[in-house]
Amino acid sequence: FAKVANRLPESDRKLLIEHSKLVDRMENEYANSSSLDNLMVKPPELPEGILNRNDNLPQLSRLQIDLLVNSFINDFARVATLQYTKSVGQAKMNWLDIDDAHHTLSHEPDKNKDAYEKLVRINTWFAEELAYLLKKLESTPEPGQKGSMLDHTLVIWTNELGKGNSHTLD
C-alpha cells in the first residue's frame, strides 16, 4: 500500500487512503457483526424439505426476495439482482401446469397459440413475484428515513430479448 501510495499525486493518494479506511471499517463491521443478534430483522428460515429443485422455485423465490429485503434492512447491501433462470434455462414451470421447458416455448412460432398462452402464464408468474417484492419493499419502513423502502429504491425489470423466437427486441 505505502509503495503505491507514495507514487501517487496527493489528490489520488488521499482517495486511496480514504478507500483503505473504508475497507478497514467494513472488515471490522463484518467481523463484529457475525452474530444474528445485531440484525434489525432476522433472515427467513429455510422451511424443512425445501431443496434447490425446479418445482421449489415458487418457495425459493419468496425466500430469495425475503433475503434481499432483509439485506437492505440490515444494510448488508444497497444493490441486488434477482434472476430466476439462465437465459437458455430449460426450467419447467410444473406448478403452473406447464410441462414444456420455458426456453423451448420461447422459440415456438407466433402462430402456436398453446405456446403463447403458456408463455403468458409464465410471464404472469414472474410479474406476480415482482409484485411480491414491491409490496414487501412498500410495507417495510426505510431505516433511519421517512417513507417505505420502496420510496428509496429503484426497481428495473428486464428481459434480454423482446421475442425469443426471433431473438429481436420487438
pLDDT at position 166? 77
pLDDT at position 26? 67
CA gyration radius, the chain: 22
pLDDT at position 50? 61
pTM above 0.85, yes or no: no
Q: Return d(Cα 68, Cα 78) in angstroms, integer.
A: 10
Q: Return d(Cα 150, Cα 142) in angstroms, integer.
A: 8
pLDDT at position 125? 97
pLDDT at position 37? 63
CB of 96 closer than 8 Å to CB of 121: yes
Q: In whole angstroms, what separates CA 107 from the centre of its chain? A: 26
Q: Return d(Cα 16, Cα 22) in angstroms, integer.
A: 10
pLDDT mean for each 10 residues of the chain (170 residues): 83 80 73 62 68 78 91 88 82 92 90 95 96 97 92 91 73
Alpha-carbon separation of residue 1 from 7, 16, 22, 28, 90 (angstroms)? 10, 9, 14, 19, 47
pLDDT at position 135? 98
Q: Return d(Cα 102, Cα 122) in angstroms, integer.
A: 8
Q: In the chain, which residue ranges form alpha helices assigned H by DSSP?
A: 2-5, 10-32, 57-73, 102-106, 113-138
pLDDT at position 71? 87
Q: Return d(Cα 149, Cα 146) in angstroms, integer.
A: 9
3-state secondary structure of 111: coil
Domain extents in the chain: 1-32, 43-152
Grid coordinates in use for 14?
488521499
